[in-house]
Amino acid sequence: MMCIPATVFSLAEGGSSAPFSHIAERTEAQKNISENPKGEVAGQAAEIPDRAFAIALHGGAGVISRDIDPKIRDEYLESLEEAIRLGVRLLEDGAEALDVVEAVVRIMEDNPLFNAGKGAVMTNQESFELDASIMDGRDLSAGAVAGVRTVKNPISLARMVMTESRHVLFAGEGAERFADLMEVERVDQDYFYTERRHEQLKRARERDEVILDHSQDESETGYLETENEESRFFDDSKMGTVGVAVLDIYGNLAAGTSTGGMTNKRFGRVGDSPIIGAGTYADNASCAVSSTGTGEEFIRHAVAYQIAAIMEYTGASLNQAARTVVHDKLRPGDGGIIAVSHTGEIALVFNSPGMFRAAANSDGRIEIGIWEEVISIAE
């Protein structure tokens, strides 16, 4: 496989010469969304337009040593490739952005490698509390859930919050009651259990005592003292998430994010993943963004929204805006974002040692990566 330059590829790069031109256009366009979501002409059969698409996804950011066992590394790369290829197939077939986001996030939620759904990390009480959000760039509608305990695929419930309620976010018991009404697929807590996550919890509890003695944390060493080979070289216990950002062939943007949260979290802690504007944002006037990293910092800086706002109000390109926020606003090691702009530009920007990610577009490029370099994959 051929390596190509890291971080981004683009269908259209560069800033706009009219930084406020999309604002008025968006207001009028959003009025017509419900009647004409695909830009179809009244009285005519819908046709799939010959338009560009782009998709980016992530499987979390964190301390990912290059000394990771090649077998484990390849498992992650194969899972990223599976997810991105699903997204490409759906987009080529004319699927809408929201449907692609939900479908791709779901297969990542079902994969125990990632800290979402089946692979969720454990709370201090050895239980599982999952968060997710999704947003439609056409009209800024959004839905989210936090602290769900029995929902197999939180991203689907988040979408139902958006489409089947007048609210944006349901949390805890309220989210579970909403799931009852929606009749989504439910599972016992045992479904989410993996031995790897249990080991991470035990390690986190031990570190609570060590930190009191001012010992060096694993994130500073990049080397984890554990018998589990995978956990030894990779820790997403604080920063693991999955997310997808999509531009479909109709010119619409959408994004979604799902997570199991932070290992050893207590007292109903909620991070950025279910927070619109922090973990997820989409606006057809600018971009779609999904974040992964230290949730509290992404909330404080409204990372996903701030990237969109910089684009819309200054005319900056997606990558210019993303780099400003990730490298200038966040602290080194906080994490990263994946994003797609309304022109098809893709950004994969992070300030942590690694970020599991993949991206593709209608020009035939498909890329996956863990560290700075990326791997180009043949169609």
CA distances from 371 to 1, 64, 65, 179, 234 (A): 16, 8, 9, 38, 12
241 tagged catalytic: yes
For the domain bounded by 3-29+51-190+235-376, which CATH number is listed?
3.60.20.30
CA distances from 374 to 64, 311, 354, 364 (A): 15, 25, 11, 15
Q: What is the pLDDT of residues 300-351, one digit of tens each?
A: 999 999 999 999 999 999 999 999 999 999 999 999 999 999 999 999 999 9
pLDDT at 27 over 80: no
pLDDT at residue 125, rounded to an integer? 80
- Token pair 């297969």 is found at 107
Flag whether the pTM goes above 0.85: no
> Given 150, 241, 257, 259, which residue is catalytic?
241
pLDDT at 184 over 70: yes
Can you list the positions of beta strands (E) in 137-230?
142-148, 169-171
pLDDT at 52 over 80: yes
Band (pLDDT 50/70/90 cuts) for residue 44 is very low
Q: What is the pLDDT of residues 107-127, one digit of tens each?
A: 999 999 999 999 889 888 878
pLDDT at 207 over 90: no
